[in-house]
Amino acid sequence: MTRLRTTACLLAALATACGTPATVARTTLPTPAPTVAGISQPLDATAGLQRNGAIAAALGDIDPSRIRRIDSALVSFGTRNSFSDTTSSTRGIGAARRWIFAEFEQYARDCGGCLRVEYNSKVQSVARAQGRQVNIVDVLAWLPGRDTSRVVVISGHYDSCVCGMPGGSSDSLATAPGADDDGSGTSAVVELARVFSRRYPKGLDASIIFVTVAAEEQGLLGARQLAEWLHEHHYTVVAGMTDDIVGNVLAENGYADSTSMRIFAADPDNSPSRELGRYVWSLDRLYMPNFDVLPVWRLDRIGRGGDHEPYVSLGDAGLRFTERVENYNRQHLPTDDFAHVNFGYVANVARVNAIAVASLAAAPATPANARAARQGRAAPSAAGNVTRSGSGGQAWTLSWDASAGAVGYELLVRHTTSPTWEQVIPLGNTTRCTLARQLDDEWAGVRAVGANGARSMAASMPAPPTPVRESGAAASPPATGGRGGQPAGPPPPACGDGR
Ligand SMILES: [Zn+2]
């Protein structure tokens, strides 16, 4: 009963808010939401995203038996340690990557050449192996979109190790099946390449890279070389996502969970990664209500890492997908075997991947240069005097760059304590508006809406600081408007008037 009443209040609140943002009274914090499987639900779980029938139909193509076959092939190579044999056709990492390459090429032939299959390789010295050098080879299947400058990356790492054994990290000979870590994620990504090549042979709006990377176990080296390569070649990375350890459903203490998974999204709360986490969480509620995503608002599990990290550190939206319960008795050990991977579960993880990848690739670009500037504060005069205008921050000019392909924009608002957006306000096709509410106490976001109804991720206002690059380039100041003067010219119309 409580839950029904909460939902009714929510719907009433949203109906009131839509289109009349300037006059919405916000006097109470939202009631704590009911929980599903221990997961706190947002007030509007789907955050105004719309279901796409083609994406929903594609989910049925993801085949657990095909994922099982791929993982079986990977395990059959004995070890995929980054220092293992590269010349044998039956054992070692070289055989494994040639098998993956051939699999991608078969899908490319089947779709009339829609996939571009290639290696991305670089010789690196591995700090964790006393500087020993190794050729790190990622295997990529590109599905070009109409916009070839924007890429959505979904990865799994095909290398394995018995890092839990003495000297196992760089042991080139010991059998390291890596069926779950990360044969499961690799198999899911290979299967996604097949499904997308059949469903979208002409691509979507953004390009997609299905990639299996190497040397994750040596310190995320294969993922980092790809992320840096993409930046060096001036691609815009819409999202850098990884499936890592996505097939175990039984914890060490006997607890089992095959109906939910986790996503890890890094700080800060207004970062692109966190926004990607919100986006995927909402999409899961929209498409897969019986398979829960537990959002975890931190970079990764405590003391551990993954292949989304290089993207996060470059300022891109990064996200890790992983199983709900891990079992350390079968990670980085010879016991990480094929018999303990649940392929029905891996298929459900792949379906969550698919809705994330397809939704991101179908949407216009996230609005760039989104910023919020206070209205009603006069700038300091040349004499150093400041004339106060009386605004304590109750009116803001929001602005952003137009996104190619957008037919309109939506404003999103949430309390700083809310894990996800609480209000969605249609804006029409505008790139400036006046927000008449005390943004000091909230977060705002703007997202682009395509003609097909697809929504981009939101750009947060104020924006997060740009990360400092290793080159030493200075970080750009956050586009907050700070305490600075009001923007030039008269205030734009109220946000929401244009609908
Ligand atoms: Zn892993």
> From the CA of 371, how far away is ligand 1's center (Å)?
37
> From the CA of 180, how far away is ligand 1's center (Å)?
8
pLDDT of the residue at 488 = 64
Residue 328 structure tokens: 């350390």
Q: Which residues of 377-394 are buried (b: 16+ CB within 10 A; e: fewer)?
A: beeeeeeeeeeeeeeebe
Compute the CA torsion angle 376, 380, 381, 387 (nearest 10 deg).
50
Order across the sheet with 432-435: list the strands: 371-374, 396-399, 432-435
> From the CA of 213, how far away is ligand 1's center (Å)?
11
Region of poorest pLDDT, from 2-6, 158-162, 400-404? 2-6
> From the CA of 80, how far away is ligand 1's center (Å)?
12
> From the CA of 159, how far away is ligand 1's center (Å)?
8
d(CA 275, CA 286): 17
> From the CA of 244, how far away is ligand 1's center (Å)?
5
Does the structure show a pLDDT above 80 at 479?
no
| Residue 498: HSE in the Cβ half-sphere, 13 Å Cα cutoff | 19
d(CA 251, CA 295): 19
Sign, Cα dihedral of 64, 180, 259, 306: negative
> From the CA of 246, how far away is ligand 1's center (Å)?
9
Compute the CA torsion angle 96, 99, 104, 108 (nearest 10 deg).
160
Does the structure show a pLDDT above 80 at 39?
no
Residue 190 structure tokens: 């290979």
Mean pLDDT of 60-81: 98
> From the CA of 216, how far away is ligand 1's center (Å)?
7
pLDDT of the residue at 378 = 59
Does the structure show a pLDDT above 90 at 251?
yes
> From the CA of 311, how far away is ligand 1's center (Å)?
16
**What pLDDT band is residue 286 in, cutting at 50, 70 and 90?**
very high
> From the CA of 328, how far away is ligand 1's center (Å)?
12
d(CA 413, CA 435): 11
Place of tokens 């350890």: 245
Region of poorest pLDDT, from 386-390, 412-416, 462-466? 386-390
Cβ atoms of 209 and 153 closer than 8 Å: yes
> From the CA of 318, how far away is ligand 1's center (Å)?
16
pLDDT of the residue at 7 = 38
Give the domain 12-24+39-45+367-499 fold.
Immunoglobulin-like (2.60.40)
> From the CA of 128, how far away is ligand 1's center (Å)?
16
The full set of domain ranges for the chain reads 12-24+39-45+367-499, 60-362
DSSP designation for 284: H
pLDDT greater at residue 5 or residue 63: 63
Cβ atoms of 94 and 183 closer than 8 Å: no
> From the CA of 162, how far away is ligand 1's center (Å)?
11
Task: List the beta bridge partners of residue 398.
Answer: 372, 433
Does the structure show a pLDDT above 90 at 468?
no
pTM: 0.87
User: Can the peptide bond before residue 462 be classed as cis, meaning omega within 30 degrees of 0?
Assistant: yes
- CATH among 3.40.50.970, 3.40.630.10, 3.40.640.10, 3.40.50.300 for 60-362: 3.40.630.10
> From the CA of 169, how far away is ligand 1's center (Å)?
12
> From the CA of 271, how far away is ligand 1's center (Å)?
24
> From the CA of 88, how far away is ligand 1's center (Å)?
24
> From the CA of 69, how far away is ligand 1's center (Å)?
20
Mean pLDDT of 274-288: 97
d(CA 272, CA 265): 9
Region of poorest pLDDT, from 4-8, 363-367, 433-437? 4-8
**What pLDDT band is residue 496 in, cutting at 50, 70 and 90?**
confident
Q: How many CB atoms lie within 10 A of CB 423?
A: 23
Burial class (CB in 10 A: 0-12, 13-18, 19+), 165: middle
**What pLDDT band is residue 380 in, cutting at 50, 70 and 90?**
low
Secondary structure (3-state) at 105:
helix
Mean pLDDT of 366-393: 73
* pLDDT tens digit sequence for 422-434: 999 999 999 999 9
> From the CA of 474, how far away is ligand 1's center (Å)?
33
pLDDT greater at residue 126 or residue 18: 126
d(CA 276, CA 239): 8
Does the structure show a pLDDT above 60 at 8?
no
Does the structure show a pLDDT above 70 at 15?
no
